[in-house]
Amino acid sequence: MVLGVALWGVAANALWHATELPDLDLPEVDPSRYFSDSFLDRSASYELFLGILGVLSAVTLVAVLAVYAQRGPRLVRESAAGRVGTGMLLAMLGFAVVWLAEVPFDLLAVWWQRRHDVSHQGYLEHLLFSFLGLGGTFVFLCLGIGIMMGLAGILRRWWWLAAVPAFLALTLLYVFVSPYLIPNTEPLDNPVLQEEARALERIEGTGESRLRVQEVHQFTDAPNAETTGLGPSTTIVLWDTLLDDDFSRPEVRFVVAHEIAHVAHDDVLHRVGWLALFLFPALGLTAYLTRRRGGLAQPEAIPLAILVLTVTQLIAAPLLNTAYRREEAAADWAALEATREPTAAKSAFRQLAIKSLSNPDPPSWIDGLYGSHPSMLERIAMAEAWGEK
């Protein structure tokens, strides 16, 4: 155990430093220089409500799964699906119960977003898309449970050591196909932006990624962009709300440079690495705590395993967010180096905050629990630091 902890620490340290970020002394930035007092008040109350809603949702999630872990095994004797089949059925039932328990919080979030003109999605429409989106999750859930129970039947208490590489292979497969699963996308039809993206790729030292636009304006006015895929499927997806008249060409160019930096830094693979570091202790703890129910080879242990994995994920999320914020900050710095336009970067951050009603300087507890990116004020400060170097 001591050797395993030591190896885990060495791997975490190496993965942390694989993301190169200058040791910056960011200047203090007065938010009133970039945002009105009314916006600061409105965005603070908006995010505070969602933050509290998220905490209540997590507490409800754990409570529901705790009850299911206690009572779920009773369903085993009513199943004739076999050992692994019964385990999959229990996992899918648990997932459905969780979805139903989370519906009220989802609807409250939609109501809050609609009230603040961030979302245009209807309640029934949201529920329908949410339900239809469960299909892919069910498939991977069944595969995961099947893998764990199959390995537990062979390797007994040491199944988790073999499960980690199996899950990582499954994750890599999902990452590879994920660009083709994003709905409502089409190729970028803007020759000027295409040429600017190719020029930025040459500057940042990457190959050519697929450039796609996702139509989301019917659901939200908030802008966004993401990088997904692996190897030949690597794709940069720009929301159509980013390409409207509210964003200038230099601002969009900076956002594209930020996404290209993720490709240059292999951040997709880094996140798979962080997943591996999470899975080793999480699955090891799951294997240990399910022994009293016969181990994960037995379907009776599945509800308890789901509870343990959910709780460990909730605990690990703030720690993983710290690593993700470092990656995002490094991508911002690389985009500044590539575009050499700190003014465009600052105006892009300002526009992103205003359009999504994002609090530029959130409380530390909200930032720690939910912040996968540096705050907008920190990102503006980085642009100022770059401009002064």
Q: Is the pLDDT of residue 80 over 70?
A: no
> What is the pLDDT at residue 136?
64
Q: Kindly list the distances between the CA atom of residue 342 and the CA atoms of 66, 252, 254, 255, 345, in Å, as whole numbers in the listed order.
A: 50, 13, 9, 12, 5
Q: Which residues contact 204 (CB under 8 A, 6 or more apart)?
A: 257, 260, 261, 263, 264, 334, 338
Residue 245 has pLDDT above 70, yes or no: yes
In this prediction, residue 149 carries a pLDDT of 86
Report the 10 Å Cβ neighbour count for 6.
10
Report whether 212 contacts 227 (CB < 8 A). Answer: no
369 by Cβ neighbours in 10 Å (0-12 / 13-18 / 19+) ranks as: middle
Query: What is the model's pTM?
Result: 0.90
- DSSP β-ladder status, 210-214 and 235-239: parallel
> Of the spans 99-108, 301-310, 340-349, which averages the highest pLDDT?
340-349
**Predicted local confidence at residue 13, as pLDDT:** 93
Nearest CA-CA partner of 235 in 169, 187, 165: 187
Interval 128-173: pLDDT, tens: 877 766 666 677 777 888 888 889 888 888 899 999 999 999 899 9
Say which amino acid occupies 19. Answer: T
**pLDDT tens digits, one per residue of 28-59:** 999 999 999 999 999 999 999 999 999 999 99
**What's the mean per-residue pLDDT of the chain?**
91
